Amino acid sequence: MNSTSEKIIIPEHSHPGFSYVYDIEVANEVNKNSDFAPPHMEKYLLDLQAASGRDFSNLIRVSGNALFFMTGNKHIQLRKKVMNTLGKGQIKEWIPVFDLAIDAAILNLKDAVNPDIVADFTYPLFLETTQRVLGMRPQDPERFDHWTQQLQTLLQPLLPLRQLIKMEAGFGDLLNQMRERDTRANEESPVSLLTELMDFKMDGYTQDDVLATILVLYGASINISQTMANVVWHLLSAPEAIRRCAADPLWVSNNLEYLIKIGASPRYIHSISLTNKTVGSQEFSKGDNVLIDLLEVHAVGCPFAKEKNWTKEELADDAHIAFGKGIHFCVGAFHSRVLIERAIPKLFANFPEINKLSDVPDVSDQKQTVILNTLKVSLNQL
């Protein structure tokens, strides 16, 4: 199959009955307008628990401490505290840690028998940098990472009861691992988010709530690995001149937003219309489930089928909302940007002859995100 002409991801209404947004101006307004709010997942789970007689206390704890699902004063206070660690200026303090992690991932890839950008480079980078910034080291990393990846499933609307029951047990295990973490003092600096939140005084915000917040942020941060792998795919599919440019830190920095736009892993942003409202030419009714389709909003369509021209004009068309807009702008955006900006040129500088082994991407069937399961490469080391 020719991946430049045949669609791997087919645009479709994955959630019938929802109102889809395909226009970037409408999407920006929906993201910022107070007449649209994130789904109230905590209330949904509380109601479902009461109606079904099932125990969803772990999922309720997790969703009640997910910034994406929050509104009101708690959201404002917690977001402000989190950004004291993950904000644009603060994340730069972690650059030495990031650079060491990138160097280790380069060596990891070089030593791999069958080099895989996902397994040997982008995923280890996500693990090391996110665990350091958030302040967590799981006791059973394999089981922990399996369930934290299910956090993206939790973002999908209208999950069936049987899936929620399965996730309830899994997230109970995650929270127990968090409670049993190593609590010995860490002399390293900068200070992790977990340490900062443990000292955070907010009414009704318990230590279990802190652990749930960290857990949610950890699960959401896997987008870093997924987006970086997608970016590498596009660069490996580009003309040789562009692949040479990818080894230049200045070129990557200047074109970072375009790379994120075409490689961003989130597919949708979900919100609820709180009133009857017209935005641009699109009408919404109170209670509508609204899905912003990021692939269409960014005019990417199937990201693995549309051949890129890499012209100055195309590179300049870099407006995107991959991290959202407004009060729910992704708190991990600056971590993602700094890591991608620094990792990509090091990858291509260390492996100037790198090539992907297949023109057909190994794409996950996950509806909520654009994920490469694997990206096998030949390093062609000299």
For 250-275, how does the pLDDT look when each residue is reduced to its tens digit (9 = 90+)?
999 999 999 999 999 988 888 999 99
**Per-residue pLDDT at 3:** 40
Q: How confident is the model at residue 14 (pLDDT cuts 50, 70, 90)?
A: low
**Per-residue pLDDT at 304:** 82
Q: How many structural domains does the chain have?
A: 1
Residue 8 lies in a domain: no
Residue 9 lies in a domain: no
Q: Is the CA virtual torsion 62, 67, 73, 78 positive or negative?
A: positive
361-378 tens-digit pLDDT = 999 887 788 899 999 999
Helix runs in 158-248, H state only: 161-179, 193-198, 207-220, 223-237, 240-245
Structure tokens that stand for 364 in this block: 């996950």
Residue 4 lies in a domain: no
Instruction: Tell me the pTM.
Output: 0.90
Q: How confident is the model at residue 4 (pLDDT cuts 50, 70, 90)?
A: very low
**Per-residue pLDDT at 7:** 53
Residue 319 lies in a domain: yes
**Residue 222, domain extent:** 19-378
Structure tokens that stand for 17 in this block: 């009955």
218-230 tens-digit pLDDT = 888 889 999 999 9
Residue 240 lies in a domain: yes
Q: Kindly report the CATH number assigned to the domain that includes residue 74.
A: 1.10.630.10
Please give the average per-residue pLDDT across 123-136, as a whole number: 93
**What average pLDDT does the structure give for the chain?**
87
Residue 323 has pLDDT above 90, yes or no: yes
112-125 tens-digit pLDDT = 999 999 999 999 99
159-189 tens-digit pLDDT = 678 888 888 888 888 888 888 765 544 545 7
Q: How confident is the model at residue 9 (pLDDT cuts 50, 70, 90)?
A: low
| Lowest mean pLDDT, pick from 129-138, 174-183, 200-209, 331-340 | 174-183
User: Would you list the DSSP string of 108-155?
Assistant: HHHH-SS-BHIIIIIHHHHHHHHHHHHT---SSHHHHHHHHTTHHHHT
